[in-house]
Amino acid sequence: MGWLKTDFEGLWVFEPRIFGDNRGYFLESFNENTLKDTDIYVRFVQDNEAKSTKGVLRGLHYQVGKNAQSKLVRVVTGEVLDVVVDVRPSSKTFGQHFSIILNDINKNQLFVPKGFAHGYVVLSEEAIFVYKCDAFYDKDAEAGIKFDDPKLNIDWILTLENLKLSDKDLVQPLFENHKAFYL
């Protein structure tokens, strides 16, 4: 258990140690000391929480420039399919996506470095999704990619008619027209 490297530079999965007994469980959801075996160098400045119902799809979002964000994401209640797309033009995995099931059973987390568009869809009846960010939200730095871009070919598990999206997410640009990522 601990940090597992993915094939995407800087993208890590965290499998926490869960201590359970007849009273419940305990886990450390974050401990800066565990990062020593990774290439993660981060100082989190903001925690966010979202509660959503089944079929809600949020994403694919990212920020550019000095307010680009790294995130550590997890699910407190329920289950989501979490998806990231590499938008770093110099990366060998540019334009590729990675997906993982995060839920309240496995309690896994995903560290999403700067330069990835991020989104998730709720698979359970309800989910509480929380994440730490290393930069503050900045509307002027906001960017996104359309969730159903055929070039990305993301399998969101649920059918289109079962998805619930914001007006903003319905009109995000295709990958080929996305806002260039820069630091």
Nearest in space to 73 (alpha carbons), one of 50, 93, 96, 56: 50
Residue tagged 């059918």 (tokens) = 159
Element (H, E) at 75: strand 71-77
Contact between 108 and 74 (Cβ < 8 Å): yes
Nearest in space to 71 (alpha carbons), one of 62, 60, 59: 62
Strand partners for 3: 14
Give the active site residue among 61, 97, 118, 178.
Answer: 61
Token pair for residue 50? 């979202």
131 belongs to the catalytic site: yes
Residue 126, φ and ψ in degrees, nearest 5: -155, 155
182 belongs to the catalytic site: no
Give the active site residue among 62, 97, 118, 131.
Answer: 131
Known catalytic residues are: 61, 131
